Amino acid sequence: MNMQPDGNLILATSSRLRLFTLFILYVAQGVPIGLFWFAIPAWMATNGADAADIGYVLGLTALPWTLKLVNGFIMDRYTFLPMGRRRVWIISAQLVMIALLAICAVARPGVEDVLLLGIAGFVVNMATTFQDVAVDGLAVDIMKEDERARASGMMFGGQAIGISLATMLTGYAIASFGPSAAYLLAAGFIAIITAYIILLRERGGERRLPWSGGHTHPRNESIQLGAWWPILKTTFSSILLPVSLLWLPVLLVRGFHYGVFGGITPVIGAGELGWGEASITSMVGTAQLVGGILGLTLGGWAGDKFGAKRTTIAFFALYMALSAMMFALRDSWSDPDLFFVFVYGWCVLDVLITVAALPISMRLCNPKVAATQFTLYMGCSNFGISIGAWVFGLSDAMGGLRIMFLLVFAAHAVGLVLMLFVKFPRRAGIPPEIVEEVAEAPGPRPSIS
């Protein structure tokens, strides 16, 4: 890792430092996702909360991830350039995450405090989305062309590791010491990462802190945007193209199953198998980790060999088979082996289908607004998560959890039909001008953007 004579780490001058920093920032991003998407719902389920309450909390937790486009516009328009284009937003967002988690630890909302838990999930994840968009922007700003593929892998893998470790460790903390311990554990880890980011500079000569010595780098001053209308006009004219509009339902479907299955998992684990939160979160965390590793290996290989469209079709078909199996085997839900297949199946397939479909989103982007349009696509997928969580909350009124598998099956059937009959871009590679502007992992991947 390259250092300046004054001992300050400079991202622009060290490839290894850039890659490690992106990796560790995505690990930090995965911590609140693992906590609020898996550990808290598992704790609620094992302490008697019903599907409506869990779905309510999950819906509020997912909602901020649908607003990432707004975050991007704000960050592109306003920043404190003497500290770099993105670092001030990353530090600020993580400080807010730490403060909010500390407040949660003090407030100690119980299982019956559904509104407070939902608000906690919303505000912490709102801060996390600002961190997410800032890190994505940092990657676009500082990564060199030959580093982008490795950067995407580091970011994607980092988020998967963050989610899996947070799910397991905060689940254990809740089971052993209570929810406050889990909030403090998450806050402490993010605080360590924040201290590391404070030591960095994006480019030479910049300030470490607002009151430190330093100046705006000429490169950042020359590219800072001063008008919103051209960005908005170009972005929405690209989104409203017919092929782009037909891609949006596919993204919604990808998010829908996450919202539904994220809620179903702890309910079946607690209600059918009698497991505690530690056991449930341990299995989910391990499944997420396996999914992340397979996404970085099998997912990329399959996409390169068979193409994004064919690979996405295959993963939709496997998802439909999984939903059909769970629907048909309702009487066997108390079988730990079946639960194992379900949890590992949906967690792994979620990562694989995200990896497979990602190039299509990139290929649909207008190079002029690639980063903004891509963020909008990811926001659409995350909106599907909110819809799925909301529908899961209605499961009791709709006839029980079994109906949820039928709905997910139907949603995937819609996605499969669109993939089969719509001529989405099938170029062998992503145009260089788009790659230059887009270097994002997909969010929360209970997915992440």
SS percent in the chain: helix, strand, coil, step 5:
80, 0, 20
Tell me the average pLDDT across 351-358.
Answer: 81
Cβ-Cβ contacts under 8 Å for 41 (sequence gap 6 or more): 54, 57, 58, 262, 263, 265, 266
pLDDT tens by residue, 302-320: 777 888 889 899 999 999 9
pLDDT tens by residue, 146-170: 665 456 556 766 788 889 899 999 9
**Can you tell me which residue has the tokens 């001008």?**
433
pLDDT exceeds cutoff 50 at 447: no
d(CA 279, CA 301): 32
Which residues face 10 on adjacent strands? 201
Cβ-Cβ contacts under 8 Å for 400 (sequence gap 6 or more): none
Task: Give percent above pLDDT 90 in the chain.
Answer: 43
371 confidence band (pLDDT: 50, 70, 90): low
- Tokens (6 digits) for 367: 């190079």
pLDDT exceeds cutoff 90 at 36: yes
d(CA 265, CA 309): 29
Measured torsion, CA atoms of residues 281, 350, 34, 336, in degrees rounded to the nearest 10: 0
One-letter amino acid for residue 349 of the chain: L
Q: Domain extents for the chain? A: 9-435
What does the DSSP 8-state code read for residue 37? I
- Tokens (6 digits) for 46: 């094992």
- Tokens (6 digits) for 170: 């905060």
d(CA 37, CA 339): 18
Quote the distance between the C-alpha of residue 352 and its chain's center. Answer: 14
pLDDT exceeds cutoff 90 at 325: yes
Contact 363, 434 (CB under 8 A): yes
The angle, 0 to 180 degrees and rounded to 10, between the axes of the packed helices 148-177 and 277-294 is 170
Cβ-Cβ contacts under 8 Å for 280 (sequence gap 6 or more): 38, 42, 45, 46, 171, 265, 266, 269, 270
What pLDDT sits at residue 21?
87
Tell me the average pLDDT across 93-99.
Answer: 95
What SS3 state is found at 35? Answer: helix
Q: Among 312, 314, 338, which residue's Cα sits nearest to residue 326?
A: 338
Cβ-Cβ contacts under 8 Å for 177 (sequence gap 6 or more): none
Tell me the average pLDDT across 387-405.
Answer: 91
What pLDDT sits at residue 277?
83
pLDDT exceeds cutoff 70 at 39: yes
What does the DSSP 8-state code read for residue 9? E
Tell me the average pLDDT across 351-372.
Answer: 74
Contact 34, 167 (CB under 8 A): yes
What SS3 state is found at 3? Answer: strand
Q: Which CATH class is domain 9-435?
A: mainly alpha
pLDDT tens by residue, 47-72: 988 888 998 999 899 888 877 777 76
Look up the pTM and report it.
0.77
φ, ψ (nearest 5 deg) of residue 438: -125, 125
d(CA 233, CA 141): 23
Helix count and strand count (H, E) for the chain: 19, 2
373 confidence band (pLDDT: 50, 70, 90): confident
386 confidence band (pLDDT: 50, 70, 90): confident
pLDDT tens by residue, 235-276: 788 888 899 999 999 999 999 999 999 999 999 999 999 998
